[in-house]
Homo-oligomer: A and B are copies of this chain.
Amino acid sequence: MTSLPAGPGPTHLPPALPEGALRVVALGGIGEVGRNMTVFEYDGRLLIVDCGVLFPEDDQPGVDLILPDFRAIEDRLDDIDGLVLTHGHEDHIGAVPFLLRLRPDVPIYGSRFTNALLAAKAKEHRQRPKLIEVREGEKRKVGAFDLEFFAVNHSIPDALAVAIRTPAGVVLHTGDIKLDQLPLDGRLTDLAGFSRLGDEGVDLFCVDSTNAEVPGFVMPERDIGPVLDDVIRRVDQRVIVACFASHVHRVQQVLDAAVRHGRRVAFVGRSMVRNMGIAAELGLLNVPDGLLVDLDQASNLPESKVLFVSTGSQGEPLSALSRMARGEHRQISIRAGDTVVLASSMIPGNETAVFGVVNGLTRLGANVVHQGNAKVHVSGHASAGELLYLYNAVRPSNVMPVHGEWKHLRANGELAIRTGVAPDNVVIAEDGVVVDLVDGKASRTGRVEVGHVYVDGLSVGDVGESTLSDRLVLGEGGFIAITVAVDSNTGRAVSSPTISGRGFSDDPKALDAVVPLVEMELARTEAEGITDTHRIAQAVRRVVGRWVADTYRRRPMIVPTVIPV
Query: Is A352 interfacial (CB 8 A cutoff)?
Result: yes
CB of B348 within 8 A of CB of A355, answer yes
Query: Is A472 interfacial (CB 8 A cutoff)?
Result: yes
Q: Which residue of the partner chain, among B498, B505, B565, contacts A494 with CB atoms under 8 Å?
A: B565
Query: Is A364 interfacial (CB 8 A cutoff)?
Result: yes
- Residues from chain B with a CB closer than 8 A to the CB of A193 are none
Query: Is A45 interfacial (CB 8 A cutoff)?
Result: no
* Cβ of A449 to closest chain B Cβ, rounded Å: 16
CB of B481 within 8 A of CB of A481, answer yes
CB of B348 within 8 A of CB of A504, answer no
CB of B336 within 8 A of CB of A510, answer no
Q: A1-B235, A475-B474 are in contact. Are A457 and B498 (CB under 8 A)?
A: no
Most buried by B among A6, A31, A503: A503
Q: A372-B213, A406-B359, A485-B563 are in contact. Are A502 and B477 (CB under 8 A)?
A: no
* Cβ of A357 to closest chain B Cβ, rounded Å: 10
Could you tell me the distance between the alpha carbons of A226 and B69 in the complex, rounded to whole angstroms? Answer: 47
- Residues from chain B with a CB closer than 8 A to the CB of A410 are 362
Stretch at the interface among A54-62, A85-93, A125-133, A171-179: A54-62
* Cβ of A216 to closest chain B Cβ, rounded Å: 13
Could you tell me the distance between the alpha carbons of A502 and B474 in the complex, rounded to whole angstroms? Answer: 9
CB of A479 within 8 A of CB of B474, answer yes
Q: List 9 A-B contacts (CB under 8 A).
A: A6-B336, A8-B363, A58-B58, A359-B407, A362-B407, A462-B505, A470-B478, A495-B565, A500-B559
Stretch at the interface among A141-149, A418-426, A548-556: A548-556
Query: Is A349 interfacial (CB 8 A cutoff)?
Result: yes
Q: Which residue of the partner chain, among B359, B373, B477, contacts A62 with CB atoms under 8 Å?
A: B477
Interface range on chain A (Cβ under 8 Å from partner): 35 or more
Return the chain B residue nearest A507 by Cβ: B462
- Residues from chain B with a CB closer than 8 A to the CB of A498 are 561, 563
User: Which parts of A180-230 form the interface with B (CB within 8 Å)?
Assistant: 213
CB of B1 within 8 A of CB of A337, answer yes
Most buried by B among A235, A478, A510, A557: A478
CB of A502 within 8 A of CB of B557, answer yes
Query: Is A303 interfacial (CB 8 A cutoff)?
Result: no
- Residues from chain B with a CB closer than 8 A to the CB of A275 are none
Per-position contact with B for A451-462: 1 when CB-CB < 8 Å, else 0?
A: 000001111001
Could you tell me the distance between the alpha carbons of A188 and B551 in the complex, rounded to whole angstroms? Answer: 48
Query: Is A300 interfacial (CB 8 A cutoff)?
Result: no
A-B contact sample (5 more), CB < 8 A, given A466-B506, A471-B478: A8-B364, A359-B406, A458-B553, A485-B485, A563-B563
- Residues from chain B with a CB closer than 8 A to the CB of A57 are 352
Per-position contact with B for A362-376: 1 when CB-CB < 8 Å, else 0?
A: 111101100011000
CB of A355 within 8 A of CB of B553, answer no
Q: A62-B476, A351-B349, A405-B355 are in contact. Are A503 and B467 (CB under 8 A)?
A: yes
Q: A474-B475, A563-B483 are in contact. Are A349 and B352 (CB under 8 A)?
A: yes
CB of B457 within 8 A of CB of A559, answer no
* Cβ of A149 to closest chain B Cβ, rounded Å: 32
Could you tell me the distance between the alpha carbons of A463 and B368 in the complex, rounded to whole angstroms? Answer: 34
Could you tell me the distance between the alpha carbons of A155 and B49 in the complex, rounded to whole angstroms? Answer: 49
User: Which parts of A409-456 form the interface with B (CB within 8 Å)?
Assistant: 410, 430, 456
Could you tell me the distance between the alpha carbons of A477 and B478 in the complex, rounded to whole angstroms? Answer: 12
* Cβ of A350 to closest chain B Cβ, rounded Å: 9
Could you tell me the distance between the alpha carbons of A265 and B62 in the complex, rounded to whole angstroms? Answer: 44
Query: Is A358 interfacial (CB 8 A cutoff)?
Result: yes
CB of B406 within 8 A of CB of A481, answer no
Q: Which residue of the partner chain, among B61, B351, B406, contacts A363 with CB atoms under 8 Å?
A: B406
CB of A504 within 8 A of CB of B459, answer no
* Cβ of A562 to closest chain B Cβ, rounded Å: 9
CB of A502 within 8 A of CB of B479, answer yes
CB of B359 within 8 A of CB of A481, answer no
- Residues from chain B with a CB closer than 8 A to the CB of A367 are 1-2
Q: A405-B359, A559-B481 are in contact. Are A336 and B475 (CB under 8 A)?
A: no
* Cβ of A399 to closest chain B Cβ, rounded Å: 17
- Residues from chain B with a CB closer than 8 A to the CB of A368 are 407
Return the chain B residue nearest A411 by Cβ: B373
CB of B352 within 8 A of CB of A348, answer yes
Return the chain B residue nearest A61 by Cβ: B475
Return the chain B residue nearest A549 by Cβ: B457
Could you tell me the distance between the alpha carbons of A367 and B553 in the complex, rounded to whole angstroms? Answer: 39
Per-position contact with B for A525-565: 1 when CB-CB < 8 Å, else 0?
A: 00000000000000000000000000111100101010111
CB of A1 within 8 A of CB of B407, answer no
Q: Which residue of the partner chain, among B349, B474, B551, B565, contacts A565 with CB atoms under 8 Å?
A: B565
CB of B7 within 8 A of CB of A365, answer yes
Per-position contact with B for A1-41: 1 when CB-CB < 8 Å, else 0?
A: 11000111000000000000000000000010000000000
